[in-house]
Structure 1
Amino acid sequence: MELYTTFSILLVVAAAFSYLNFRFLHLPGTIGLMALALLSSLALVALGWMGVPAVLQVANVVRTIDFHTVLMQVMLSFMLFAGGLHLDAGSLGRQRLPVLILSTLGTLLSTTLVATSLYVTLPLFDLPLDFIYCLLFGALISPTDPIAVLGILTRAGIEKPLEIKIVGESLFNDGVGVVIFATVLSVAQGGAEAVSGWSVLGLFLREALGGVGLGLGLGYGGALLLRSIDNYKVEVLLTLALVMGGTTLATSLHTSGPLAMVMAGIIVGHQGRRDMSDVTQEYIDKFWEILDEIFNALLFVLMGLQILVLDITPLYLLVGLLAVGLVLFARLVSVGLPLAVLSLHRQFTENSLTILTWGGLRGGISVALALSLPPTMPRDLLVGITYVVVVFSILVQGLTIGPLATYLQHKQPKRPDSPKAQ
């Protein structure tokens, strides 16, 4: 009953904030929800300082929610499947090389750059940190969040090829980021001598390639079942079973559930639609769109309410603001170098680097990974820095990426006789 009550409160709050945002603020849904939840949390914190006892009850409700478990083991699979389901597989195929390089080598490069810059910078604030913990922060903050990207960038008016690069990268690099994070965490807990190169390779193959392989099997199997019948009720139920059963199977096989769900969603969306009736397509699309919206609303409300239970001191806030610049610089380099190499063989739009850098939003996955750190590590510091970077990313970058894209596209000279850029 306590779980039901907590979920009911969150849903009521999410619905109320959604109404207020749609009725008065007119912000993109995810941004409006997080902004309202954040402002409400700050107001509650102020009331708590004034000694209002009811605030403690609200904080206790938020504290009972295991954010990492709720997002990583429950909500993420549904939202990634929905994202893959609605992604244009043909366009993604044409952008597969940039997406692959950005989501793998780009994530590794960003992790290293963030870790190195943080390791050098923190002693200036009398907060020296072992390099292994800096690597942990680099691993959890480098992947762009598919939930934030899908909720914001797809409405930002960005050119289609560039949008596919950003969305495709964000759907895949979270799995890479989680594998890197898990590897670094195992080193931090057991020491470098406890982890060999073969064990790291084995972890990557099991998590990443195993997740992709499982997703392929689930996707093609699900598409075959969907194409063999014509009953929208059963077909919607099959997609739901695919996600829930597939996630459970991925957990038991110790493979990447997020990567499996992305692949399954893309294949079902592309292959499963071939013989699907218009009625079934409409019901499946609307079902997953509504489910995705509900989970998005709950997630961003939860992220905003986290300020009630996080210990973010003024010093952590200052370091977090500095980390915003470090993360953006690492994003610029980790995107710029691959684009420079790829541009030798294909042409990109002039604004690709700027949009890819500023559009690399961080979100709930980074917060969830930070919250999963054990208390024996500098958890409060890393969680505080992560939360500041994520809030800046969602509220500032998320609000300005659309106007920035519009400005750059109007500023860009039109050259109809030039080769088609990608």
Structure 2
Amino acid sequence: MLDLVAILLVLTALLAYVNHRFVRLPTTIGVMAIALLLSSALLGLNALGVSALHHRALALLTSINFSEVLMQGMLSILLFAGALHVDLTKLRAFRLQIGLLAVFGTLISTIVVGAILWWTLPLVGLPLSLTYCMLFGALISPTDPIAVMGILKSAKAPESLELVIAGESLFNDGVGVVLFALIAGVLVSGTTPGAGQASMLLLQEAGGGVLFGLLLGYVTYRLLGSIDSYQEEVLITLAAVIGGYALATRLHISGPLAMVVAGLIIGNHGRALAMSDKTREHVDSFWELLDSILNAVLFVLIGLEVIVVRMSPMLGVAALITIAVTLFARYLSVGLPVALAQRVSRLPGGSWQVLTWGGLRGGISVALALSIPSSAERDVLVTLTYAVVVFSILVQGGSIGMLIRRWIPRGA
């Protein structure tokens, strides 16, 4: 394990250096792009008969349980760190827009993606059951807050639009994970729960996660306010995140939603009322550093994991179809409602285009796809997920700044 961590950290540091020194892309995009180039080079060498490096890389990557590393390791830290610097007062002003997009937008997108792929994939010789298609819809519909918030920092979007995109991505992640768990349960059991049972499960997971996050945030806030020592206070926040996420998992409630809610409480009430200036500075520095390091490691892993993805001409065509379907579902579930309710949304003109194109997918979608039990259908879904994620980060993420400048009026 120590050797594995050492290899990942050294490789990530080298790629981050190369990106910062020569490529100069946003870190998330840059390290992933360079990792993809390395993966492509290894695949090319393997095709030419030079397979030693490819075999070593393959052995390394197959020893990593990506789904477990992200969902049980990195995710709690990244979500908490992302929520920690969101202004709750400003976020509250857009709570209706964020809530509708996060819940109903994710539901609509899941259904649209699942239904269209169920109809179109047989046309290219890859028929999947409706359950598997809906499972893919659930894992690909939530935007990844880790990817979104990392790229938004350099995109210079208007504050109102940035708040809605960031807020939606923080909360639709929890909704998507709950939907995925429900559909995966149907796949395993072979029985479809009724509307009442599904609603209760959704309420238990999502509602329980929010309530637990409120409790965790309040208890942590009280502990922070009772002392003034930045070393212990930084440790308390870290313990709250790691321990809280583990407990939420044990209680079968949404850990991602709990971390987002706890992060909002600590980042707002905790920073303002329970921390001295010195503590605030150290807490902010600690979580920003941890967030940037884990973000870089995560996207290097995504770039390298392409080595284990199976590809064929038929899957390539299916991947292109899936990318188009995912964008269309994003437009129907988010872009179109915002465009039709432009005045009500209180967002600047052109926001629907940015919301549609800025729906980035990342590590969470990959982790969920890799968590599906081994089968031929799972291999197809993993390949389609990687295609959407790579397109999302490199193409959508790489162009979002330019599109914001083009679509959003100056001074909005």
TM class by shorter chain equals: over 0.9
Deviations 1:33-67 (A, max 9, x none): 10011100110111222233232012101110000
Deviations 1:123-162 (A, max 9, x none): 2102122111111111110000011001101220100000
Tell me the secondary structure at the aligned position of residue 378 of structure 1. Answer: helix
Of 268, 271, 278, the match for 1:270: 268
Is the Cα contact below 8 Å between 2:124 and 2:317 reproduced in 1? Answer: no
Q: Distance in 1 between matches of 2:343 and 2:166?
A: 23
Measure how far apart 1:120 and its partner are. Answer: 1.5
* Pairing 1:320–2:316 present: no
Of 220, 224, 227, the match for 2:225: 227
Is the Cα contact below 8 Å between 2:213 and 2:257 reproduced in 1? Answer: yes
Query: Structure 1 residues 232, 270: closer, same or farther in 2, change over 3 A?
Result: same
Corresponding residue for residue 417 of structure 1: none
* Correspondence list, 1:1-400, <5 A: 3-49=1-47, 50-193=49-192, 195-275=193-273, 276-339=275-338, 342-343=341-342, 345-376=344-375, 378-400=377-399
TM-score of the aligned structures, taking structure 2 as reference length: 0.96
Q: Distance in 1 between matches of 2:12 and 2:280?
A: 28
Percent of counterpart pairs with the same letter?
52
Unaligned residue ranges in structure 2 (runs of 5+):
none
Measure how far apart 1:89 and its partner are. Answer: 1.0
Measure how far apart 1:344 and its partner are. Answer: 6.2
Q: Distance in 1 between matches of 2:346 and 2:252?
A: 39
Measure how far apart 1:376 and its partner are. Answer: 3.5
Is the Cα contact below 8 Å between 1:154 and 1:163 reproduced in 2? Answer: no
Q: Distance in 1 between matches of 2:55 and 2:304?
A: 13
Measure how far apart 1:345 and its partner are. Answer: 3.8
Q: Which amino acid aligns with 2:195?
A: G
Is the Cα contact below 8 Å between 1:227 and 1:274 reproduced in 2? Answer: no
Q: Which amino acid aligns with 1:14?
A: T
Unaligned residue ranges in structure 1 (runs of 5+):
415-420
Q: Distance in 2 between matches of 1:149 and 1:35?
A: 16
Q: Cα RMSD between the aligned structures? A: 1.4
Is the Cα contact below 8 Å between 2:110 and 2:138 reproduced in 1? Answer: yes
Q: Distance in 1 between matches of 2:149 and 2:338?
A: 22
Is the Cα contact below 8 Å between 2:327 and 2:356 reproduced in 1? Answer: yes
Deviations 1:223-242 (A, max 9, x none): 11112211111110110010
Is the Cα contact below 8 Å between 2:353 and 2:407 reproduced in 1? Answer: no
Q: Which amino acid aligns with 2:13?
A: A
Q: Distance in 1 between matches of 2:168 and 2:210?
A: 15
Deviations 1:322-360 (A, max 9, x none): 211111011001013432565464533111100100000
Tell me the secondary structure at the aligned position of residue 137 of structure 2. Answer: helix
* Correspondence list, 1:396-407, <5 A: 396-407=395-406
Measure how far apart 1:200 and its partner are. Answer: 1.5
Give every structure 1 segment of 4 or more consecutive aligned residues whose post-TM-superposition deviation is greater than 4 Å: 340-344
Provide the aligned length of Structure 1 versus Structure 2.
410
Q: Distance in 2 between matches of 1:55 and 1:124?
A: 34
Q: Distance in 1 between matches of 2:347 and 2:29?
A: 29
Q: Distance in 2 between matches of 1:319 and 1:397?
A: 19
Q: Distance in 2 between matches of 1:245 and 1:413?
A: 45
> Which range is displaced more, 200-209 or 81-90?
200-209
Q: Which amino acid aligns with 2:52?
A: P
Q: Distance in 2 between matches of 1:160 and 1:413?
A: 13
Q: Distance in 2 between matches of 1:34 and 1:189?
A: 34
Tell me the secondary structure at the aligned position of residue 246 of structure 1. Answer: helix
Is the Cα contact below 8 Å between 1:110 and 1:331 reproduced in 2? Answer: yes
Is the Cα contact below 8 Å between 1:235 and 1:280 reproduced in 2? Answer: yes
Q: Which amino acid aligns with 1:378?
A: E
TM-score of the aligned structures, taking structure 1 as reference length: 0.94
Is the Cα contact below 8 Å between 2:342 and 2:349 reproduced in 1? Answer: no
Q: Distance in 2 between matches of 1:89 and 1:131?
A: 39
> Which range is displaced more, 261-270 or 114-123?
114-123
Tell me the secondary structure at the aligned position of residue 272 of structure 2. Answer: coil
Q: Distance in 2 between matches of 1:29 and 1:147?
A: 12
Deviations 1:261-304 (A, max 9, x none): 00000000111122321111110000000000111011001000
Q: Distance in 2 between matches of 1:59 and 1:88?
A: 43
Q: Which amino acid aligns with 1:321?
A: L
Tell me the secondary structure at the aligned position of residue 274 of structure 1. Answer: helix
> Which range is displaced more, 273-282 or 55-64?
273-282
Q: Distance in 2 between matches of 1:46 and 1:92?
A: 47
Q: Which amino acid aligns with 1:138?
A: G
Measure how far apart 1:16 and its partner are. Answer: 0.1
